[in-house]
């Protein structure tokens, strides 16, 4: 497995270079002067300031040279400098990235807890009222916009019941509503995949053998059936985590959660290209690493999987 992980990490190098090229071209392919676009609709700085900014951002160099300089800066952990705040992008994102990860993994915990429970219950009680109800809820959640559900959660738990704070990122209480909003929506996909996978596994010969031995149904379900049913769930989990990262952008704005998504919306509205590039790069690298982790997790769940 170690050799497989090393090969996958080496394979990530050209992928990351491709991501870097895409992020760089976001700015290079924009028609017109990027600085003029950044200050569109605002009072532009004087010519001396524009010349200084153009030199600091390397816009006075040929595009290939700009790309090489960009790669060199990224290799040294330099994501550039925000045009608006004049602060290093890496410093701005370090705190916010942590908040986004906290929200994402809290949402993932909710999604797994609710999705697995619903999927297992629907499979065990197949074609009963429990099965029909859970799948109807899953279908409803799958078609529900995240921002709308977030507003409903705010109205119910923060405004009407006053159990939780409306918005912000002060302490654990502020995490509950955005994590529930993201997690409950993501749980619908996990519930449907878990149900389908569990139905296949519950009819397998080794499950019938475990029951014939007189094992308790709870042990048969959780120890024998669920572990083997988790492979498709883990596969979708990597995609779900990417979806949670993307969904966090909108939810962070709805709940004023100070994460990368909130900063991305600000940067887009301000046309702050260095910040947009930095956020795109950080999210892309996170998504690539998560998929590597998911691939490795396959072998831990099913020893029959051999890495070559």
Percent of all residues in the chain with a pLDDT value above 70, rounded to a whole number? 87
Fold of 94-257: MetI-like fold (1.10.3720)
Summarize pLDDT for 162-192 with one digit per residue, the tens: 788 777 777 788 888 888 888 888 888 888 8
Domain-wise residue ranges, the chain = 1-78+271-308, 94-257
Say what the pLDDT of residue 210 is. 73
Report how far residue 232's alpha carbon sits from residue 199's, in angstroms, rounded to the nearest whole number.
Answer: 12
| Residue 274: closest CA among 89, 17, 66 | 89
Summarize pLDDT for 90-148 with one digit per residue, the tens: 888 887 888 888 888 888 889 888 988 888 888 888 888 888 888 888 888 777 777 78
Say what the pLDDT of residue 1 is. 61
| C-alpha count within 13 angstroms, C-beta hemisphere, residue 284 | 17
Is residue 303 very low, low, confident or very high in pLDDT (cuts 50, 70, 90)? Answer: low
- Name the maximum alpha-carbon separation found in the chain: 84
Contact 290, 220 (CB under 8 A): no
Report how far residue 308's alpha carbon sits from residue 101's, in angstroms, rounded to the nearest whole number.
Answer: 32
Summarize pLDDT for 217-257 with one digit per residue, the tens: 777 777 767 777 777 787 777 777 777 777 777 888 888 78
- Checking if the pLDDT of 57 tops 80, the result is no
- Checking if the pLDDT of 199 tops 70, the result is yes
Check residue 94 and report its DSSP letter. Answer: H
Report how far residue 225's alpha carbon sits from residue 62's, in angstroms, rounded to the nearest whole number.
Answer: 60
């Amino acid at each position: 497995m170690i050799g497989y992980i090393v090969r996958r990490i080496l394979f990530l190098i050209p992928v990351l270079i491709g991501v870097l090229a895409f992020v760089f071209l976001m700015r290079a392919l924009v028609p017109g002067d990027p600085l003029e676009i950044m200050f569109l609709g605002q009072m532009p700085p004087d010519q001396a300031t524009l010349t200084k900014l153009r030199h600091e951002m390397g816009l006075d160099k040929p595009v290939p040279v700009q790309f090489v300089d960009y790669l060199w800066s990224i290799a040294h952990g330099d994501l550039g400098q925000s045009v608006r705040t004049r602060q290093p992008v890496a410093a701005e994102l370090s705190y916010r990235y942590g908040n986004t990860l906290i929200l994402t993994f809290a949402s993932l915990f909710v999604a797994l807890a609710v999705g697995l429970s619903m999927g297992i219950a629907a499979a065990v009680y197949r074609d009963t009222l429990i099965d029909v109800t859970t799948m109807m809820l899953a279908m409803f959640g799958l078609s529900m916009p995240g921002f709308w559900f977030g507003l409903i959660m705010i109205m119910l738990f923060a405004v009407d019941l006053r159990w939780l704070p409306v918005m912000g990122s002060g302490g654990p209480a502020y995490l509950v509503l955005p994590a529930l909003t993201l997690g409950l929506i993501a749980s619908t996909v996990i519930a449907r995949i878990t149900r389908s996978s569990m139905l296949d596994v519950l009819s397998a010969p080794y499950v019938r053998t475990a029951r014939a031995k007189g094992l308790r149904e709870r042990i048969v379900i959780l120890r024998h059936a669920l572990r083997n049913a988790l492979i498709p769930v883990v596969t979708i989990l990597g995609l779900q985590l990417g979806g949670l990262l993307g969904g966090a952008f909108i939810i962070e704005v709805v709940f004023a959660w100070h994460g990368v998504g909130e900063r991305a919306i600000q940067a887009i509205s301000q046309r702050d290209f260095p910040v947009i590039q930095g956020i795109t790069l950080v999210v892309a690298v996170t998504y690539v690493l998560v998929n590597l982790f998911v691939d490795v997790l396959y072998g831990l769940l099913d020893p029959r999987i051999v890495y070559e």
